[in-house]
A and B are shown apart, each in its own frame.
Chain A
Amino acid sequence: MITRSTRFRPWVWSAVVALMTVGLVACGSGTQDSDSTSGGTQSGGVTLTLTSITDAKVGWAPLIAAYKKVAPNVTIKASYAPTDQLQTALRAQLGAGNAPDLFAAWPGNGSAMSIQQLAPAGLVADVSDQSWIKQVPEGLKPLLGASGKTYMWSSCVAPIGVIYNKRVFQDAGISSPPKTWDELLADADKIKQAGKVPFAVGNQTPWITQLLPYAIAPSTAFAQDPNLAQDMLDNKKSFENSGWHTVFERYMELYRRGLFNKSPNGTTYEQTQQLVGSGKAAMAVQVIATMPPFLAAAKDKSDLGTFPFPAAQSADQLQIPAGVCAGLAASANSKHVEEAKKFIDWLGRPENMATFAKATFSIPLVGADSADVDPVLKPFTPFLASNKTVPFMDQQWPNAKVQPAHFAGIQELVAGQTDVPGLLKQLDEAYDQK
Chain B
Amino acid sequence: MDVKVLTFGIIKDITGSGLLHVDIPEGANVGELLRTMIVLYPDLRGIKSIAVAIDNVYATQDTSIAHNVEVALIPPVSGG
Tell whether A and B belong to one assembly: no
